[in-house]
Amino acid sequence: MPVFYGKEVASRMMLGTAQYPSPAILADAFRRSGAGIATVSVRREAGGDQAGQAFWNLIQELGVAILPNTAGCHSVREAITTAQMARELFDTNWIKLEVIGHSDTLQPDPFGLVEAAQALSDDGFEVFPYCTEDLVLCERLVKAGCQVLMPWGAPIGTGLGLNNLYGLRSLRAHFPDTPLVVDAGLGLPSQAAHAIELGYDAVLLNTAVAKAGDPAAMAEGFAKAVEAGALAATADPMEPRDMAAPSTPVLGMPFS
């Protein structure tokens, strides 16, 4: 199972908490997924008796690790301020860092991301950066103190799957000892299984589950796919080949 900043997590699935039809469906999706981490947007939470308290109570009842995020932040200052609020609200140094640089694709701002990651790491945060599969960017994030990398599979909410297999394979090979999580763009359980087969440690989902006709069933489907991918990754799978090879031996068989 994946280990993030020295903490072992009981599942390779991480699940977002936004866009579900109801709190009951959200809770059911988490139960059937077995997800070990819930990502929570700071902007949905409020203290005391304010509107966010009921949501926070629900998240606590899930019994999973909380990973607050800086979703929707478009500047370094905004992301840092949001992270500091998250630490006060959720009493954790974990933060999923998002610094959005492009409003249409929601692609991360690589320059702002590294700057914010360095500042937060220096302030004692344990940063989970939402990034692209660019090797140079990821090297700089690691140097900035990030012990986890979370490259996208495709733009957030698109369900396109793993758009750049070469880049994702290269990233896994380049950082063999760094936990890697495919974050964003997955739409089907088969895509999640593929990510784990590539050697990724976990996947993070939200829209694919929350917007399904039956979110709980989809969450369970992803959970089973992730388990299948993990089994395949450790089973020494066969190498693909260009030519057909008979599965039944032909030696000793009669020919007319």
Is 184 annotated as belonging to a binding site?
A: yes
39 near 205, Cβ under 8 Å? no
Is 207 annotated as belonging to a binding site?
A: yes
How confident is the model over 119-148, as pLDDT tens digits? 999 999 999 999 999 999 999 999 999 999
Residue 249 lies in a domain: no
Residue 242 lies in a domain: no
Q: What integer pLDDT is reported at residue 52 of this predicted model?
A: 63
Residue 246 lies in a domain: no
Residue 256 lies in a domain: no
Residue 154 lies in a domain: yes
Is 124 annotated as belonging to a binding site?
A: no
Residue 130 lies in a domain: yes
Q: What integer pLDDT is reported at residue 98 of this predicted model?
A: 96
Q: What integer pLDDT is reported at residue 247 of this predicted model?
A: 79
39 near 67, Cβ under 8 Å? yes
User: Residue 57's domain spans which residues?
Assistant: 3-235
Tokens of 28: 């059911």
Q: What integer pLDDT is reported at residue 61 of this predicted model?
A: 84
Per the structure, the count of domains in the chain is: 1
pLDDT truncated to tens, each residue of the chain (256 aa)?
A: 899 999 999 899 999 999 999 999 999 999 999 999 999 988 655 444 455 677 778 888 888 999 999 999 999 999 999 999 999 988 999 999 999 999 888 999 999 999 999 999 999 999 999 999 999 999 999 999 999 999 999 999 999 999 999 999 999 999 999 999 999 999 999 999 999 999 999 999 999 999 999 999 999 999 999 999 999 999 988 888 888 887 776 666 666 5
Asked whether the CA dihedral 127, 129, 134, 136 is positive or negative, the reply is: negative
Catalytic, 211? Answer: no
- Single-letter amino acid code for the residue at 218: M
Query: Whole-prediction pTM value?
Result: 0.89
Burial class of residue 139 (count of CB atoms within 10 Å of its CB; 0-12, 13-18, 19+): middle
**Tokens 């090297």 belong to residue:** 139
Helices 165-174 and 135-143 cross at an angle (nearest 10°) of 30
Is 57 annotated as belonging to a binding site?
A: no
Catalytic residue among 96, 143, 211, 224: 96
CATH code of 53's domain? 3.20.20.70
Residues 146 and 140: their CA atoms lie apart, in Å, by 9
Residue 255 lies in a domain: no
Task: Give the pairing type, strands 7-8 and 3-4.
Answer: antiparallel
Q: For the chain, how are helix, strand and coil distributed in percent, rounded to 5?
A: 40, 15, 45
- Coil, helix or strand at residue 75: coil
Cβ neighbors of 195 (< 8 A, separation 6 or more) are 153, 162, 168, 182, 186, 203, 229
30 near 65, Cβ under 8 Å? no
Tokens of 184: 């964003």
* Polymer length of the chain: 256
Is 185 annotated as belonging to a binding site?
A: yes
Residue 250 lies in a domain: no
